[in-house]
């Protein structure tokens, strides 16, 4: 009986965790439309790509469908690093511009900041899908001059990472981490902060992760507020995680291609 009692408790606890996770996801990924004043805010969305033909179309469709993009208040710019597959062909069907930039994810984003003239630049990843009003919620806080950057939570539907990733989204705002796939910044603040450290090994995922999601955001915090927006959620892939298999790509294949320098 004791074993059955513990088992029943475990099942009940797991069900409660799942219900909590689903409630968090719903709050973050089905936000109401905001009617924000975009006058005086020139907005771009940057997507860095390198051989992303299996993922990029879903991402760009979700960005084209953004309420701000539909209203002509945001541009979509793909930062491509000489992809050898159909990435550019697909991107040209959706993006406002496709720019060829140096290879290396941080180098690509850095070049985007240099070449763009927008006041606000949102960073999106090529394997992530964004709800219709995501950008509205992500940029609404920039009318506060103290805000230099914003970021939202990221989720996945891929098991076994679905529930753990969602629950981690509760903890992330309490840390210094900022998700690179769901982020917006005043472009001037990028340069004032010193920008990315481009001397690091950009083929090493752990090194890039520490630079893009920890060190550089902490440098931004010396300039002003880096604000978490709980209603600006996005859905991302888990292709870099063990036991994941998405779009015909096993995690091992993706890791191998990253090590060869043909993927970000």
92 found inside a domain? yes
Residue 225 belongs to domain with CATH number: 3.90.550.10
210 found inside a domain? yes
Domain that holds residue 181: 2-259
Q: Please tell me the pTM assigned to this model.
A: 0.89
| CB crowding 28-66: b at 16 or more within 10 Å, else e | bbebeeeebebeebebbbbbbbbbbbbbbbbbbebbeeb
How does pLDDT run across 183-224, given as a tens digit for each residue? 999 999 999 999 999 999 998 889 999 999 999 999 999 999
Per DSSP, the residues of 8-40 read: HHHHHHHHHHHHHHHHHHHHHHSPPPP----TT
264 found inside a domain? no
How does pLDDT run across 77-93, given as a tens digit for each residue? 999 999 999 999 999 99
Query: How many structural domains does the chain have?
Result: 1
pLDDT higher than 70, residue 47: yes
């Amino acid at each position: 009986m004791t074993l059955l009692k513990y088992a029943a408790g475990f099942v009940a606890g797991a069900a409660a965790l799942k219900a909590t996770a689903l409630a968090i996801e719903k709050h973050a990924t089905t936000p109401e439309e905001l009617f924000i004043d975009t006058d005086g805010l020139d907005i771009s969305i940057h997507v860095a790509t390198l051989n992303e033909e299996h993922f990029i179309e879903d991402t760009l469709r979700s960005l084209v469908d953004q309420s701000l993009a539909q209203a002509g208040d945001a541009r979509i710019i793909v930062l491509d690093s000489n992809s050898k597959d159909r990435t550019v062909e697909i991107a040209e069907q959706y993006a406002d511009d496709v720019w060829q930039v140096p290879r290396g994810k941080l180098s690509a984003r850095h070049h985007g900041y240099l070449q763009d003239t927008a006041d606000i630049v949102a960073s999106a990843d090529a394997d992530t899908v964004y709800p219709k009003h995501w950008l509205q919620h992500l940029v609404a806080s920039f009318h506060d001059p103290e805000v230099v950057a914003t970021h939202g939570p990221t989720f996945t539907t891929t098991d076994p990472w679905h529930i753990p990733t969602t629950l981690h989204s509760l903890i992330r705002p309490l840390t210094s981490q900022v998700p690179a796939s769901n982020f917006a910044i005043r472009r001037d603040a990028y340069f004032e902060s010193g920008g990315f450290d481009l001397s690091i090994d950009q083929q090493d995922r752990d090194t890039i992760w520490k630079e893009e999601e920890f060190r550089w955001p902490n440098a931004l915090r010396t300039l002003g507020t880096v604000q978490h927006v709980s209603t600006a959620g996005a859905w991302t892939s888990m292709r870099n995680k063990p036991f994941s298999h998405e779009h015909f790509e096993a995690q091992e294949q993706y890791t191998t291609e990253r090590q060869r320098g043909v993927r970000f």
